[in-house]
Amino acid sequence: MYDYTRTTTRLTPRVRFDPSSKKHREIFAHFLRNRAWSGDVRFYLEWPYLTIPDMCQDKLTRFYLDVPRAAHPWEEEAERMVDNS
Protein backbone atom coordinates (compact mmCIF):
# COMPACT_ATOMS: atom_id res chain seq x y z
CA MET A 1 0.00 0.00 0.00
CA TYR A 2 1.27 3.45 -0.86
CA ASP A 3 1.12 6.34 1.55
CA TYR A 4 0.19 9.49 -0.29
CA THR A 5 0.74 12.82 1.38
CA ARG A 6 -0.68 16.08 0.25
CA THR A 7 1.67 19.01 0.07
CA THR A 8 0.53 22.57 -0.04
CA THR A 9 2.37 25.67 -0.97
CA ARG A 10 1.71 28.85 0.90
CA LEU A 11 0.81 31.60 -1.51
CA THR A 12 2.41 34.87 -0.57
CA PRO A 13 1.34 38.19 -1.99
CA ARG A 14 3.74 40.05 -4.26
CA VAL A 15 4.31 43.72 -3.66
CA ARG A 16 6.67 46.42 -4.86
CA PHE A 17 9.72 46.83 -2.67
CA ASP A 18 9.37 50.04 -0.65
CA PRO A 19 12.65 51.15 0.97
CA SER A 20 10.75 53.40 3.38
CA SER A 21 8.88 50.38 4.81
CA LYS A 22 10.53 48.96 7.92
CA LYS A 23 9.00 45.55 7.23
CA HIS A 24 10.48 45.47 3.71
CA ARG A 25 13.90 46.50 5.02
CA GLU A 26 13.76 43.73 7.65
CA ILE A 27 12.92 41.12 5.01
CA PHE A 28 15.84 42.27 2.87
CA ALA A 29 18.19 42.34 5.89
CA HIS A 30 17.19 38.74 6.65
CA PHE A 31 18.06 37.82 3.06
CA LEU A 32 21.49 39.47 3.36
CA ARG A 33 22.25 37.60 6.60
CA ASN A 34 20.88 34.17 5.62
CA ARG A 35 20.79 34.12 1.80
CA ALA A 36 17.16 33.04 2.04
CA TRP A 37 13.95 35.05 1.85
CA SER A 38 11.60 35.10 4.80
CA GLY A 39 8.49 36.97 5.72
CA ASP A 40 4.99 36.92 4.42
CA VAL A 41 5.54 39.04 1.30
CA ARG A 42 7.50 38.62 -1.91
CA PHE A 43 8.70 41.42 -4.14
CA TYR A 44 8.06 42.01 -7.82
CA LEU A 45 11.14 42.24 -10.00
CA GLU A 46 10.90 45.66 -11.61
CA TRP A 47 12.46 46.77 -14.86
CA PRO A 48 15.42 47.43 -15.49
CA TYR A 49 16.73 45.23 -12.66
CA LEU A 50 17.86 41.66 -13.28
CA THR A 51 17.58 40.30 -9.73
CA ILE A 52 15.46 41.17 -6.73
CA PRO A 53 18.45 41.56 -4.35
CA ASP A 54 20.10 44.03 -6.76
CA MET A 55 16.85 45.93 -7.06
CA CYS A 56 16.42 46.15 -3.28
CA GLN A 57 20.01 47.24 -2.77
CA ASP A 58 19.76 49.95 -5.42
CA LYS A 59 16.45 51.24 -4.07
CA LEU A 60 17.79 51.32 -0.50
CA THR A 61 20.93 53.17 -1.57
CA ARG A 62 18.93 55.74 -3.50
CA PHE A 63 16.48 56.10 -0.60
CA TYR A 64 19.17 56.81 1.99
CA LEU A 65 21.24 59.04 -0.30
CA ASP A 66 18.10 60.78 -1.60
CA VAL A 67 19.10 60.23 -5.24
CA PRO A 68 16.19 59.69 -7.64
CA ARG A 69 16.52 57.24 -10.51
CA ALA A 70 16.11 58.70 -13.98
CA ALA A 71 12.76 57.71 -15.47
CA HIS A 72 12.32 56.22 -18.92
CA PRO A 73 9.26 56.92 -21.10
CA TRP A 74 8.09 53.29 -21.16
CA GLU A 75 8.27 52.86 -17.39
CA GLU A 76 4.85 54.42 -16.83
CA GLU A 77 3.18 51.69 -18.84
CA ALA A 78 5.18 48.98 -17.07
CA GLU A 79 4.12 50.43 -13.70
CA ARG A 80 0.48 50.40 -14.77
CA MET A 81 0.81 46.74 -15.73
CA VAL A 82 2.25 45.84 -12.30
CA ASP A 83 -0.38 47.86 -10.43
CA ASN A 84 -3.22 46.21 -12.34
CA SER A 85 -2.10 42.65 -11.58
pLDDT at 76: 67
β-pairing, 14-15 vs 42-43, is parallel
Q: Which of 62, 58, 13, 20 is nearest to 39 (CA)?
A: 13
Q: For residue 54, what pLDDT is reported?
A: 96
Strand partners, 14: 42
pLDDT by residue for the chain (85 residues), tens digit each? Answer: 555 555 556 677 899 999 999 999 999 999 999 999 987 889 999 988 999 999 999 999 999 999 887 666 666 666 777 776 5
Give the Å distances, CA to CA, from 57 to 7, 34, 51, 64: 34, 16, 10, 11
